[in-house]
């Protein structure tokens, strides 16, 4: 009976999320994004503004000529010696939001003595691939060369992002050919935290990424999973098992590819969490994922973090995994026909 109850829970959450997402698809474009992601974006921005106004040390920097080439450095009140640095790239389908939208998540990391950088980048369709990628590379260059002046440790720079931002940070970590060309040391990125990130763009509907990668033949080139190789820094992959926008299959395949190539990788599955809920968890000090990220950073990317809802996740996986996969396959089939 207990197993059946768990199966019903998984089915119900997946079905409800799928219905909302399908309505979003019918709405299309930005309307679909707002419907699926929730109308929380304005609330996130308000919370970010409140944190910024209450934080004593926030430094605004321009790292390029475009109006979106800006970043904010949040300095913790207390730190011992040079502090580790967490660079965060916002999400928004590569077309929406800014460095000011989701910076509310900085608070728990500041409390852990970590310098938090919220970075902006040019948006598509006005600036399609690879422009946003190039901007993120420039953020890393600026951070490595300048963060020491603000008490940060250039040898402990970690990249992170949610959704489109997770895609960008994982891409510039995995495809590291740009690092040597920029004059930075090959190990300038200590680790990468990928939260609900579409690491293989081929697994998304092309209509959802065509504004970012107009040429479908470039999807492999724009997908982090195809650059995984031995010698890369550690990855921490966080995903929601109830996420329909970036289904669990995508991060799972990325994790498996890392392991096949002996790349250090840790994962924190968040049980039944949706796309927006994984973002909210990043800013909640009571969430285990925050403790896991802090452990990952303070352990220089080599300490295994806490495992989030792993016990419950593994239990439900064994009891309801096949049923959930059937539902997701049906959902994907419907969405594919709706292209």
Please give the chain's pLDDT, 339 residues, in tens: 555 555 555 455 555 555 544 544 444 445 445 545 555 888 999 999 999 999 889 999 999 999 999 999 999 998 778 999 999 999 999 999 999 999 999 999 999 999 999 999 999 999 999 999 999 999 999 999 999 999 999 999 999 999 999 999 999 999 999 999 999 999 999 999 999 999 999 999 998 999 999 999 999 999 999 999 999 999 999 999 999 999 999 999 999 999 999 999 999 999 999 999 999 999 999 998 999 999 999 986 655 554 444 554 454 444 334 444 444 444 344 333 443
* pLDDT value of position 14: 52
> Which residues, 6+ apart, have CB-to-CB distance to 54 below 8 Å?
none
Residue 268: beta bridge partners? 238
C-alpha–C-alpha distance, residues 309 and 272, integer Å: 10
CA distances from 228 to 58, 187, 263 (A): 35, 15, 8
Burial class, 169, CB count within 10 angstroms (exposed 0-12 / middle 13-18 / buried 19+): buried
DSSP structure string for 181-238: HTT--TT---EEEEES----GGGS-HHHHTTT--SGGGTTTT-GGGG--TTPPEEEEE
> Which residues, 6+ apart, have CB-to-CB distance to 181 below 8 Å?
none
> Which residues, 6+ apart, have CB-to-CB distance to 37 below 8 Å?
245, 275, 276
Strand segments (E) across 254-339: 265-270
- Residue 314 CB neighbours (<10 A): 14
* pLDDT value of position 40: 82
The sheet with strand 191-195 has its strands ordered as 58-62, 70-74, 115-119, 83-89, 152-162, 191-195, 234-240, 265-270
Structure tokens at 333: 């089939």
Omega before 125 cis (within 30°)?
Answer: yes
Domain 39-311 has CATH 3.40.50.1820: yes
At CA 107, angle to CA 105 and CA 111, rounded to 5?
Answer: 140
* pLDDT value of position 300: 64
Sequence ranges of the domains in the chain: 39-311
Residue bearing tokens 């060309």: 181
* pLDDT value of position 27: 45
> Would you mind telling me the total number of residues written for the chain in this entry?
339
Which pTM does this prediction carry? 0.83
pLDDT tens digits, 39-84: 588 899 999 999 999 988 999 999 999 999 999 999 999 877 899 9
DSSP code of 126? T
């Amino acid at each position: 009976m207990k197993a059946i109850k768990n199966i019903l829970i998984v089915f119900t959450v997946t079905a409800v999320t799928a219905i909302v997402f399908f309505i979003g698809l019918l709405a299309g474009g930005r309307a679909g994004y707002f419907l699926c992601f929730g109308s929380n974006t304005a609330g996130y921005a308000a919370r970010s503004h409140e944190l910024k106004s209450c934080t004593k040390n926030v430094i605004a920097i321009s790292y390029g000529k475009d109006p979106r080439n800006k970043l904010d450095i949040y300095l913790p009140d207390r730190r011992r010696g040079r502090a580790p640095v967490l660079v965060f790239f916002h999400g928004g389908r590569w077309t929406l939001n800014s460095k000011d939208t989701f910076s509310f998540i900085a608070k728990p990391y500041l409390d852990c003595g970590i310098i938090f950088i919220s970075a902006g980048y040019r948006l598509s369709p006005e600036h399609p691939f690879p422009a946003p990628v190039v901007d993120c590379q420039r953020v890393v260059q600026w951070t490595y060369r300048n963060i020491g002046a603000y008490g940060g440790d250039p040898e402990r720079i970690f990249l992170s992002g949610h959704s489109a931002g997770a895609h960008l940070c994982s891409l510039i970590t995995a495809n590291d050919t740009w690092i040597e060309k920029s004059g930075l040391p090959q190990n300038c990125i200590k680790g990468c935290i990928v939260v609900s990130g579409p690491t293989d763009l081929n697994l998304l509907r092309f209509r959802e990424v065509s504004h970012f990668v107009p040429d479908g033949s470039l999807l492999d080139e724009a997908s982090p999973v195809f650059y995984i190789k031995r010698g890369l820094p550690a990855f921490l992959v966080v995903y929601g098992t109830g996420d329909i926008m970036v289904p669990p299959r995508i991060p799972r395949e990325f994790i498996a590819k890392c392991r096949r190539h002996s790349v250090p990788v840790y994962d924190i599955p968040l049980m039944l969490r949706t796309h927006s809920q994984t973002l909210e968890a990043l800013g909640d000090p009571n969430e285990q994922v925050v403790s896991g990220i802090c452990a990952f950073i303070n352990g220089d990317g080599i300490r295994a973090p806490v495992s989030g809802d792993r016990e419950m996740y593994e239990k439900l996986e064994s009891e309801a995994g096949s049923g959930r996969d059937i539902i997701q396959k049906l959902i994907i089939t419907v969405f594919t026909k709706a292209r």
